[in-house]
Amino acid sequence: MTITRLPYPSAPRGDQVDDYHGTTIPDPYRPLENPNSAETKAWVEAQNRLTFAYLAGIPERDRLRERLTALWNYPRNGVPWRRGGKLFRFKNTGLQNQDVLFVSDERGERELLDPNGFSDDGTASLRNLSVSRDGRFLAYAVSQGGSDWQTWFVRDVQTGEDLPDKLELSKFSGAAWLPDASGFYYGRYPAPSEGEALTSANYGQQLYLHRLGTPQAQDELVYERPDDPERGFHASVTHDGRYLVLTTWKGTSPKSLLAVRPLESTGDFVELVSSFEAMYAFVGSDGSTFYVQTDAKAPLGKLVSIDVTRPERGWQDVIAESEHKLVSVDLAQGELLALYEADATHRLRRFTRRGAFVADVELPALGTVTTVNTEPDESEAFFGFASFLFPTTSYRLDLAAGEATALETPAMPFDASRYETRQEFVVSKDGTRVPMFLVHKKGLALDGSSPTLLYGYGGFGVSLTPSFAVTRLPWLEMGGVLAVANLRGGGEYGETWHEAGTVHGKQNVFDDFIACAEHLVISGVTRPDKLAIQGGSNGGLLVGACMTQRPDLFGACLPAVGVLDMLRFHKFTIGWAWVSDYGSSDDPEQFETLLKYSPVHNVVPGTCYPPTFVTTGDHDDRVVPAHSYKFTAALQAAQGCDAPILIRVETKAGHGQGKPTKLIIEETADVLAFLVRALQLEL
C-alpha cells in the first residue's frame, strides 16, 4: 500500500547550541521543552489533529476497539492480604476505569474505597495505600492525570469515612504506620516552583511523621540529608513495633543504606550499612534479629541476618546465593517464602527461619508470581500467578498442609488453548546468550510471513517475566507473533546482568535487541517489513536507539513515553536518578557514549525511517513529554520517504500509572490500527 506523505506541522525552533566539553551540539527543538508555551501547545494540538485524522482512515480501528472492549470485560480479583483480622482485596467488574478496594470482616464483604469516584473521567487514580497493623485505618494516596505527585488521605475502615487528614507534596513514598495506628511515616519533597511542576528537578526528599488529626504543618521531621539532596528515604516499622528501620536510596541505583533505632527513640540511627556498595532490603524481624536481602558479594542475591543489639558481630547467611536470582523474601509464621527467577520464569520455595529448605510451592506452569502477601504470624499466604496466555489468578497457600489452592479462575472471552508459548535463546553480537519468549497460534508456519511484535526494556534491573495483558490478545487473534526479549540491563540474571547493560555497556542492550530481531528473520518467523518493535520509558529509548541504528530492520516502531534526549534527561524532574544506569553528559567520557546512541541526536536527514507511532502523555512528570516531542520533530524533518511519523499525545495522562481502562483501550486500538496499516495486515 502506498502511503501518501503527510503534512507535518512545523515545530517551533530555536538557535540553541550547547558546548559539551569542547564539542558543540545544536538543540534546535529546545522550545518544545516548555510544555506551557503557546507554541508547544499549538504544535501538540496540530500533531494530534494529524494523527487522529490518519487513524480515522483505518477501517479496522473501530473493530479493534470493540474487540478490546469485549476482551477487557471480565471480572478480575486481586491478591488478598490480611491486616488486623480483616481481608483486603481489589476487584473490578470488567470495564471499571479503576479497581475497587473491598474489605471482609465479621460484617461480611463490603466496598471500602472506589477510586472511580475520584474524578469524572477516571484520570485521578489510587497511587499507593497502607493499612494500619490493626486494620483500623487506610492511608491512601491519590495522583491526578498520571502524575508522580501524590496526596495522602486517611479512611476509617469501620465507618468507610475519611478523616480530615490531607498530606501533599509526597512522591516516591509509601506510608509506614505506628503500632497503635496513631500516625504514619511518609516522604515528601519541597514544593516545586509555580508553573514548573512538570519540569523542575526533584531533590531533597524528607521523612516525616504524621499524627492523625493534626494538620500537615505540624508533622514531625524525622530525617533529612540536605548535604546530599539526591538521597531518598523509606521507613519501615517492625511487625512487633519495636524498631524504626530507615532505608536510604539514591536515584534508581539498587545500592542502598540501612539504619535502625528503637521506635520511641528520637536519637541517632544505628547504621547497619553505611556506604552505597550493594543492595540491602529489609525483609522482617524476629525480635532483635533482622532479615535482610542483599547482593553484597552475591550478584544473584542471598538472605542474611544481623542482631541489631550487637551489630558488631556482623551479617550471617540465612539463605545462601544459589544458581538462580533471588527476587524477594517474605516472612510467614515460622517460615520464609523465597521467590526465585530462573531463565526469566519464577519459582517459589519455602525455608525455615534458620534457612533450611522445606519444599517448593507447586506452580501451575512456567510463569510469574505477581505478588506474595504474608504476615509474620499467619500460617497462610496469598500469591498471584500469571503467564502470557492466562490472567492473574489468586492462590491461598496453607503452610501447615503445604497446599496452594486457587481462590477462583478468571473467565474471559479468549480461547488460550489455541496458542502456545515457547522460549528460545539468541546469540548476541558479543556471544552473550539472550532469552526470548515467543507467543503465537499453534502450528505457526516458519515462512517469514507472520507479523511480529518484538517487545523489550533492558534497564534498571527490571525483569520481563511472562505477564498477562489484554492489550496483546487482539494481536495474537489476528495471527500476530508476540516476542518478548530479556535483554542485558534487566534483572533476569542478577546484578551482573544488569550492570552489563549500563553506562558504557548500554550499547549491549541495543545489540541484544537487534540480535533478537535478526533471529526472528533468520529463523523464518517474520521478515523486516512485518516486524514491529515496541517499548515504553527506558524501553522507548530502546526502540529509539535501535530504529536510528538499524532503520532497515523494522517495519514499524512504537516508542512510548521514551527517554530520547540522552544529553539532557537528567535536568528534568527525577531524571537525575537515572544517571546510575545511563551516565551523564556532565562527564566527558560518558558524554561521548551517550552521544553515540541518543535517539534525538542520531536522526540523519534523508534516511528512510520505518513507520513510527510515538505515544506520550502531556502530564508525564517522570519522563517529560519533551523527549517525545523533540524526537518526533527531528524524525519528521529528516524523513527521507513517505512512511508516516506520528505522535499521539494523551491529555490528562502521565507516565502510564493509574491510566483508566477507557483510555488504555482507546490508545491500544490506535496502536494496533497503526500496525495494521504499517505492516499491511488483514484482520
pLDDT at residue 654, as a whole number: 57
In-domain check, residue 311: no
Amino acid identity, residue 546? C
Q: Give the number of domains in the chain.
A: 2
pLDDT at residue 3, as a whole number: 47
pLDDT at residue 658, as a whole number: 63
**DSSP assignment string, 358-403:** EEEEPPSSSSEEEEEE--TT-SEEEEEEE-SSS--EEEEEETTTTE
3-state secondary structure of 421: strand
In-domain check, residue 22: yes
3-state secondary structure of 311: helix
Q: Residue 629: is it exposed, middle or buried by C-beta count within 10 angstroms (0-12/13-18/19+)?
A: buried
User: Residue 584 sits in a domain of what CATH number?
Assistant: 3.40.50.1820
User: Could you give the CA distance from residue 605 to residue 627 in angstroms, rounded to a whole number?
Assistant: 19
In this structure, are 53 and 154 located in the same domain? no
In this structure, are 46 and 166 located in the same domain? no
Q: Residue 4: is it exposed, middle or buried by C-beta count within 10 angstroms (0-12/13-18/19+)?
A: exposed
In-domain check, residue 10: no
Handedness of CA 229, 231, 232, 237 (dihedral sign): negative
Residues of the chain with pLDDT under 50: 1, 3
Q: Is 482:520 a contact under the CB 8 Å cutoff?
A: no
> Could you list the residue range(s) of the whole structural domain that residue 103 is in?
75-192+204-237
In this structure, are 474 and 424 located in the same domain? yes
In this structure, are 673 and 550 located in the same domain? yes
**Residues whose CB falls within 8 Å of the CB of residue 425, separated by 6 or more in sequence, listed in order:** 433, 434, 435, 436
pLDDT at residue 1, as a whole number: 44
Cβ-based neighbour number of residue 408 at 10 Å: 9
In-domain check, residue 613: yes
For 206-227, give the secondary structure using H, E and C.
EEEEEECCCCHHHCEEEECCCC
Q: Residue 506: is it exposed, middle or buried by C-beta count within 10 angstroms (0-12/13-18/19+)?
A: buried
In this structure, are 64 and 168 located in the same domain? no
In this structure, are 21 and 167 located in the same domain? no
In-domain check, residue 376: no
In this structure, are 668 and 575 located in the same domain? yes
Handedness of CA 359, 362, 367, 371 (dihedral sign): negative
User: Could you give the CA distance from residue 290 to residue 499 in angstroms, rounded to a whole number?
Assistant: 28
User: Residue 148 sits in a domain of what CATH number?
Assistant: 2.130.10.120
Task: Give the residue among 619, 437, 637 at the shortest CA–CA distance from 35.
Answer: 619
Segment (H or E) for 436: strand 433-441
User: Could you give the CA distance from residue 611 to residue 6 in angstroms, rounded to a whole number?
Assistant: 12
Cβ-based neighbour number of residue 57 at 10 Å: 9
User: Could you give the CA distance from residue 667 to residue 648 in angstroms, rounded to a whole number?
Assistant: 9
pTM for the predicted model, two decimal places: 0.93
Whether 119 is catalytic is no
- Active-site entry in 498, 519, 570, 655: 655
In-domain check, residue 6: no
In this structure, are 424 and 473 located in the same domain? yes
In-domain check, residue 431: yes
Q: What angle do CA 451, 549, 681 make, to 5 degrees?
A: 15
- Active-site entry in 143, 147, 537, 598: 537
In this structure, are 143 and 186 located in the same domain? yes
pLDDT at residue 574, as a whole number: 87
In-domain check, residue 188: yes
User: Could you give the CA distance from residue 316 to residue 350 in angstroms, rounded to a whole number?
Assistant: 19
In this structure, are 431 and 567 located in the same domain? yes
In this structure, are 663 and 558 located in the same domain? yes
Whether 655 is catalytic is yes
**DSSP assignment string, 523-560:** TTS--GGGEEEEEETHHHHHHHHHHHH-GGG-SEEEEE
In this structure, are 556 and 517 located in the same domain? yes
- The tens digit of pLDDT for each residue in 482-504 reads 999 999 999 999 999 999 999 99
For 45-77, give the secondary structure using H, E and C.
HHHHHHHHHHHHCCCHHHHHHHHHHHHHCCCEE
